[in-house]
Amino acid sequence: MLHYCLAHLAYHFSRQLPKRSRAKFEILVLLLVTFLLLLLPQIFVLLRPKSSRYCGQPLLVNLTSFIIFTFIMTGFTVILTLMDPIPNEVKVAFHVYGVGSFAQGIATTAFTVPASQCANTTPELYYLSLVLSVLSVLATVFVGFLIPFWLADVFNKGMVSNHRSRAGVCQKPVANCSYLWHV
């Protein structure tokens, strides 16, 4: 769920900027978040000689799939931040990707929890998997907290926050940061 959450937040943060500044924001997001914070550590650990040692859990395979999800996240981030309006097909594909990202987060956590013995044989791989597991769980909790609000807004438009009439259950809490809850 980490990849889905990051792309979703980038989309809504970009919508707070004027259209002419979105390309600059996109470059900043791609350079900082995708490459420096996510992709560079993953590729570094993948290329370490210690990472290919034996580990009782398939952490190396999981890291490879995590890298693939990071590349897909990069593509969705570019598409979502630069397109206006977003076609429904892209929205559906993105939410299906979110389900896959959720499954990836569960797999990462499930493989990392019983892999404490891997801290001795493949320390970088184990600790990166541990960090990615914690971040995935935090992102899942965040999105899980927001899902009831998203569903309420889908079934009863304007109930959660109606910006035009400045009404709704969450109008005051999200008046300055509406991009956090909106789908």
pLDDT tens, N- to C-terminus, the chain (183 residues): 888 988 888 887 777 777 777 777 777 777 777 777 778 888 888 888 777 778 878 888 899 999 999 989 888 888 888 887 888 999 999 999 999 999 999 999 999 999 888 888 888 889 999 999 999 999 999 988 888 877 777 777 766 555 554 455 454 445 555 554 444
Residue 154 in any domain: the answer is no
Residue 139 in any domain: the answer is yes
Q: State the Cα–Cα distance between residues 183 and 89, nearest whole angstrom.
A: 14
Residue 157 in any domain: the answer is no
What number of residues does the chain have? 183
Residue 149 in any domain: the answer is no
Residue 132 in any domain: the answer is yes
Look up the domain containing 14 and give its range: 2-144
pTM of this prediction? 0.79
Encode burial over 62-89: b for 16+ CB neighbours within 10 A, e otherwise: bbeebbebbeebbebbbbbbeeeeeeee
Residue 155 in any domain: the answer is no
What is the reported pLDDT for 183? Answer: 43
Angle between helices 88-112 and 59-82 (to 10 degrees): 160
Residue 165 in any domain: the answer is no
Residue 26 in any domain: the answer is yes
| Domain count for the chain | 1
